[in-house]
């Protein structure tokens, strides 16, 4: 992958998003949207390269409150347990606000419409963009995500322990926590490159370590409404991809997403958990590029 410049876009709402673009901007535009507390680095370079090789212009970015984008420190730390119990008063924003960030990035890039690819919480944001700003979406790919219906997509007890583990107190502890988490929620059917994971975790820590921002993401997810009824009304080419071994977002979340979207194709990948192992990159790139071609 050639080195690209990290740029920043003012997307409104007092937020700037850091982003990178790859490939030829005359090609179809694909926005890669990452998940809860996770930086754009989690879109592997090899997967980005595979998408570019299939004739796509790829943009990946840090959501608000992670990486090099704006961190809303003044918003404080929400009471996550209260939000989970239904008291959403401490949640400073919702997925709809993050969807507006994405639309603001499209504006900054001069894109009227784009193909959205979201993983985990990124899939939830992509769904929200398609629901609230359908005129900006050419196609929707939702990976290892869910609908917001709490009856589906629930994490296992092991995965919950990872999600609610106390914040790391040092760089090395943050790196080890990442590796421990991957061992729980990663892909048992595919080889894990722990050296690469360690390097990415170190780079993520060095770019920005903000546990309160992660809590704000979690609160945004839990405070947002069930999208199922709105997804049923969407008229957009859609692809839903989910790992059959996902412990963080149960595969029922992916099946429910595909069931709600009228035109969605569901792809379940055996051995894939809640990550993007190298063994699935070409398959994902083929599927996404195929959806882009069919949408055109």
Q: Give catalytic residue positions.
A: 120, 246, 274
d(Cα 218, Cα 37) in Å, to the nearest integer?
8
Q: Scanning the structure block, which residue is given the tokens 């997925």?
A: 95
- Pairing, β 238-243 against β 264-269: parallel
Q: Exposed/middle/buried for 151, CB within 10 Å: 0-12, 13-18, 19+?
A: exposed
Per the CB < 8 A criterion, the answer to whether 145 and 248 are in contact is: no
d(Cα 120, Cα 124) in Å, to the nearest integer?
7
**Sequential DSSP letters for 140-158:** EEEES---S-TTSSPPPHH
d(Cα 177, Cα 157) in Å, to the nearest integer?
17
E strands, 212-270, where? 238-243, 264-269
Structure tokens at 10: 């003012």
Structure tokens at 23: 């490939």
Structure tokens at 12: 């409104």
Cα 134 from chain centroid (whole Å): 19
Q: What is the largest CA-CA distance in the chain?
A: 48
d(Cα 213, Cα 67) in Å, to the nearest integer?
10
d(Cα 125, Cα 35) in Å, to the nearest integer?
9
Cα 118 from chain centroid (whole Å): 5
């Amino acid at each position: 992958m050639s080195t690209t410049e990290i740029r920043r876009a003012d997307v409104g709402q007092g937020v700037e998003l850091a982003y990178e673009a790859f490939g030829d901007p005359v090609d179809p535009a694909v926005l890669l949207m990452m998940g809860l507390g996770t930086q754009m680095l989690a879109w592997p370079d090899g997967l980005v390269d595979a998408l570019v090789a299939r004739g796509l212009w790829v943009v990946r970015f840090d959501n608000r409150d992670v990486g090099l984008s704006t961190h809303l420190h003044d918003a404080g730390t929400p009471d996550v347990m209260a939000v989970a119990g239904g008291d959403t008063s401490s949640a400073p924003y919702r997925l709809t606000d993050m969807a507006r960030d994405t639309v603001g990035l499209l504006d900054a890039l001069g894109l009227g419409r784009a193909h959205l690819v979201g993983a985990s919480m990124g899939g939830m944001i992509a769904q929200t963009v398609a629901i609230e700003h359908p005129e900006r979406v050419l196609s929707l790919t939702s990976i290892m995500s869910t609908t917001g219906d709490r009856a589906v997509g629930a994490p296992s007890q092991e995965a919950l322990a990872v999600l609610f583990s106390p914040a790391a107190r040092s760089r090395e502890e943050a790196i080890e926590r990442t590796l421990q988490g991957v061992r729980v929620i990663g892909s048992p059917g595919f080889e894990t490159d722990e050296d690469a994971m360690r390097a990415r975790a170190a780079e993520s820590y060095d770019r920005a370590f903000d546990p309160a921002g992660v809590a704000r993401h979690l609160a945004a997810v839990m405070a947002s409404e069930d999208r199922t009824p709105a997804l049923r009304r969407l008229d957009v080419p859609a692809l839903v991809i989910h790992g059959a071994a996902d412990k963080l977002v149960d595969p029922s979340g992916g099946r429910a997403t595909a069931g709600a979207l009228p035109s969605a194709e569901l792809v379940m990948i055996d051995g894939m958990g809640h990550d993007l192992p190298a063994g699935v990159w070409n398959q994902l790139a083929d599927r996404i590029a195929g959806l882009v071609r069919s949408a055109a």
